[in-house]
Structure 1
Amino acid sequence: MLTEQLVMLGRHLRNAGLPMDSARMALAVSALDLVTVDRCDDVRDALEAVFVSREEDRDVFLQVFEAHWRRWGQTGSAQSIPLTMGSNESPKHRRAQVAQTDALLAPDDEPCASPALSASDLQRLRQADFLSLSADEFLQLQHHAKAMRLDIPQVKSRRWCRSERGSRVDWSRLMRSAARHGGEVLHVPRQRRRKQVLPLLVLLDVSGSMAPYARMLLAFLHQRTSQGPRAVFTFGTALTDLRSAFALHDPDAMLQSVNQAVSDFGGGTRLGASLATLRQRYPSTLTARRSVVLLITDGLDTGEPDVLRSEMQWLKRHARRVLWLNPLLRFEGYAPLARGPKVLSECCDAQVAIHNLDRLSSFAQGLQQLLKT
């Protein structure tokens, strides 16, 4: 059925960050009625005109579409797959199909997954650079990234709570208990400091060279950082606040909100100017030198290195740790010799490679050790 195939495509496009709703799906059905559906080029061009509204989404659409066309072709010839509705179908029937599509695209539904990978294929993909993945492979790994666990360390806060083996006597409770028992102390209540998750500040580069890594990290961080306070920003040529998007529970709704909010996706990088905006407009995102900053970028900054150095020094003074997650560490012998990477290497407390799923998993499991060192 046309509806089922378009829903499958729509789900994967939505997971990849493209805006998707029932209106676009209905328009796609109408567009396919006007082309020769057994020709890949005609179908691709018709759907691209409907689903792609921004230049940076075009490559994502083409990859996802090609993967779906290959899968459709494995079931038989293109003519054997009913890609169009009959022209004699009534408008009422078309509206029913659109309503069905809207229900299938609801955020609570599980996206239609690709066939399960074998253990050897999954191991190969876990070690593959995110840049080298096809659309299907990217979606598979994105699902695994969402399921990974990120152990954010806990520290002692200034607040106290009850504890049988605490380090401090709770004199208030002790006196009240004694008053109830005629001055006799039957039990010595104690207190300990509460533990709280360290606040996170995530700064994610969405420039052209970082686009595939940004999409994977968005899915990973949305699911794995919800247990504590967090602030998430993207930067390219400007700084974008994503806290409202990350407050959404559904990951697909989050990706759609991010896609609408970020206007400089796939552009250049001006980290120094973006950090200046953070310092001037959002200084409260850094919590009393307790925040852990995850700076996710390749460091290829096009701004002035003096501005970048000044802003990075301010960031380091107001944070507990600044960790640089750098996909360029995938290259053996990589050295930060360019102006931007050189400044970042001097100001950050540690550098971590995050170019494939294995490296991302190692970072998630070793975050506590990184903060200790």
Structure 2
Amino acid sequence: MELPELTVQDDGRLAQNITHFARALRKAGFRLGPGRILQALEAVQAAPFTSRADFFWTLHACFVSKPEERLVFEQVFRLYWRDPRYLDHMMSLMLPQVKGSYNERKAAPGEKRAAQSLLDLPPPPPQEEGEEEIEIDASATAAATERLRTLDFEQMSVEEIAEAKRMLARLTLPVQPLVSRRMTPGGQARVDRAATMRAALRRGDLGRLAFQNPRLKWPNLVALCDISGSMSQYSRMVLHFLHAVMNARGQGWAQVHAFTFGTRLTNITRHLHQRDVDAALAAAGAEAQDWQGGTRIGQCLHAFNQDWSRRVLGQGAVVLLISDGLDRDPPEALSFEMKRLSLSARRLIWVNPLLRWDGFLPKAQGIRAMLPHCDAFRAGHSIATLEGLARAISDPQDRGERDRLLSHLRDG
């Protein structure tokens, strides 16, 4: 759809409107200082534009510095500069005068944060003297927490996302050790015949038996996070969770490795070792240049199997694949790479946010190609579903929705 023409009125309010727009972006989570706003004013004054697209991309170049900010910027721009339903009280100060009408549509992801940044609710009135004080029921707080646990990450407001990140930082993902075929001296599990005979030769009798126990080993955790346009918000929350797991002590993992993929594979493990989660994810986002881009799952899995699997999938590793499975690669190649990955890992758990929909069925060819090769197929769209990963990892019999969906594929 072509964008309508944009007429800029030289009424002296240009700087005021752009400043107000920048404040709205700050409320939506952008880090904008006075210098960035001055740059935007200079750019708009210097760049001749006659269309909404020119104006949009001029401000976009000045204010957007991270891939994850693109969607929210688009929604704030739409609400501030176009939509009269949200901004009736600002229309008198509008810079653009838009010609044309727009159809009603369902709210897009990120729009809740955008609208909230523009429409702050007034504070409640002070309580008058003599008015009966209302006692706060603690169950309401518990109900709000439970609602947040089950709320879809895509539908959260700015405050809800911040609280969800704090809750994710407290989650744990413990794992039990694996029993190795190698033995270690001590215990009473098995007689160590070789050690017993060596001791007998030294002493000249079989007066004492030597014992040995199986050696315990701790597995690696490897996460492959899809950061394409449809997955960026979900993977960002999963990375907050992985940061907490990676920097927590006593959970049992030998090593935790994290990779992102969209159109290419990026190893972000070293960035997540930073103690500050914001700095860690900022560094990871700077290295992964394909945030909110396309998806080449098969190609990226091939790169992982070729370059990284032997390095990080030792010790009976558990692999978390966070992706919606919507891929542009040929399904045959995707199925082959998934099979290779499954054979290299002790357990391959596919975390798919599309399971948030009741009655979800594997209709996309990418999902149909990948599903037979995972050990468990679980949802990953909320805090509650991420909490369930601990159960999927500790229980070898846990399959999630895998068996139900595989039976649908066989029957279909």
Q: TM-score, normalized by length of structure 1?
A: 0.69
Q: 1:57 aligns with which of 69, 77, 84?
A: 69
Q: 2:298 aligns with which of 263, 272, 279?
A: 272
| Cα distance in 2 for residues equivalent to 1:370 and 1:143 | 30
Residue 216 (structure 1) aligns with: 237
Shift of 1:319: 1.7
State the one-letter code of the partner of 1:248: Q
**What secondary structure is seen at the aligned counterpart in 2 of 1:333?**
coil
1:191 maps to 2:212 = yes
| Cα distance in 2 for residues equivalent to 1:160 and 1:348 | 31
Shift of 1:135: 1.4
| Cα distance in 2 for residues equivalent to 1:164 and 1:146 | 38
Residue 87 (structure 2) aligns with: none
Q: Is the 8 A contact 1:231 1:285 kept in 2?
A: no
Shift of 1:296: 0.6
**What secondary structure is seen at the aligned counterpart in 2 of 1:233?**
strand
Q: Is the 8 A contact 1:153 1:368 kept in 2?
A: yes
Shift of 1:26: 7.5
**What secondary structure is seen at the aligned counterpart in 2 of 1:208?**
coil
1:257 maps to 2:283 = yes
**What secondary structure is seen at the aligned counterpart in 2 of 1:249?**
coil
Q: Is the 8 A contact 2:222 2:313 kept in 1?
A: no
Shift of 1:48: 8.1
State the one-letter code of the partner of 1:224: V
Residue 146 (structure 1) aligns with: 169
Residue 320 (structure 2) aligns with: 294
Q: 1:173 to 1:133 in 2, by over 3 A?
A: farther
1:10-31 Cα deviation digits (max 9, x unpaired): 8995xxxx7x7xxx75746988
| Cα distance in 1 for residues equivalent to 2:70 and 2:175 | 36
Q: Is the 8 A contact 1:289 1:317 kept in 2?
A: no
| Runs of 4+ with deviation above 6 angstroms | 9-12, 28-32, 47-50, 63-66, 68-73, 173-179, 182-187
| Cα distance in 2 for residues equivalent to 1:321 and 1:199 | 11
Q: 2:343 aligns with which of 307, 317, 342?
A: 317
1:120 maps to 2:132 = no
State the one-letter code of the partner of 2:385: R
**What secondary structure is seen at the aligned counterpart in 2 of 1:167?**
strand
| Cα distance in 2 for residues equivalent to 1:186 and 1:52 | 77
**What secondary structure is seen at the aligned counterpart in 1 of 2:214?**
strand
Q: Is the 8 A contact 1:275 1:311 kept in 2?
A: yes
| Cα distance in 1 for residues equivalent to 2:341 and 2:278 | 31
Residue 20 (structure 2) aligns with: none
Worse-matched range after superposition: 244-253 or 182-191: 182-191
Q: 1:25 to 1:333 in 2, by over 3 A?
A: same
Q: Identical aligned pairs, as a percentage?
A: 30
* TM alignment of 1:3-152, pairs within 5 A: 13=29, 27=35, 52-54=64-66, 56-60=68-72, 74=123, 118-152=141-175
Q: 1:326 aligns with which of 332, 348, 352?
A: 352
Q: 1:177 to 1:147 in 2, by over 3 A?
A: farther
Q: 1:169 to 1:55 in 2, by over 3 A?
A: closer
| Cα distance in 1 for residues equivalent to 2:124 and 2:159 | 17
1:205 maps to 2:226 = yes
**What secondary structure is seen at the aligned counterpart in 2 of 1:299?**
coil
| Cα distance in 2 for residues equivalent to 1:191 and 1:314 | 35
Residue 104 (structure 1) aligns with: none
Q: Is the 8 A contact 1:324 1:350 kept in 2?
A: yes
Q: 1:235 aligns with which of 258, 261, 279?
A: 261
1:323-354 Cα deviation digits (max 9, x unpaired): 11111111111111111000111211210111
Unpaired runs of at least 5, structure 1: 1-8, 35-46, 77-116
Residue 95 (structure 1) aligns with: none
Q: Is the 8 A contact 2:262 2:294 kept in 1?
A: yes
Shift of 1:172: 5.0
Residue 98 (structure 1) aligns with: none
State the one-letter code of the partner of 1:244: R
Q: 1:360 aligns with which of 379, 386, 406?
A: 386
Unpaired runs of at least 5, structure 2: 1-24, 43-58, 77-109, 126-139, 248-252, 400-412
1:339 maps to 2:351 = no
**What secondary structure is seen at the aligned counterpart in 2 of 1:144?**
helix
| Cα distance in 1 for residues equivalent to 2:124 and 2:162 | 21
| Cα distance in 2 for residues equivalent to 1:321 and 1:259 | 28
| Cα distance in 1 for residues equivalent to 2:28 and 2:196 | 58
State the one-letter code of the partner of 1:206: I
**What secondary structure is seen at the aligned counterpart in 2 of 1:118?**
helix
| Cα distance in 1 for residues equivalent to 2:177 and 2:35 | 50
State the one-letter code of the partner of 1:120: A
State the one-letter code of the partner of 2:328: T
Q: Is the 8 A contact 2:180 2:217 kept in 1?
A: yes
Q: 1:331 to 1:207 in 2, by over 3 A?
A: same
Worse-matched range after superposition: 222-231 or 295-304: 222-231
Larger radius of gyration: 2
| Cα distance in 2 for residues equivalent to 1:372 and 1:189 | 39
Q: 1:189 to 1:256 in 2, by over 3 A?
A: farther
> How many matched pairs?
306
1:229-253 Cα deviation digits (max 9, x unpaired): 2321111011111122123233222
1:63-85 Cα deviation digits (max 9, x unpaired): 76875776796499xxxxxxxxx
Q: Is the 8 A contact 1:151 1:365 kept in 2?
A: no
Q: TM-score, normalized by length of structure 2?
A: 0.63
Q: 1:157 to 1:26 in 2, by over 3 A?
A: farther
Q: 1:214 to 1:353 in 2, by over 3 A?
A: same
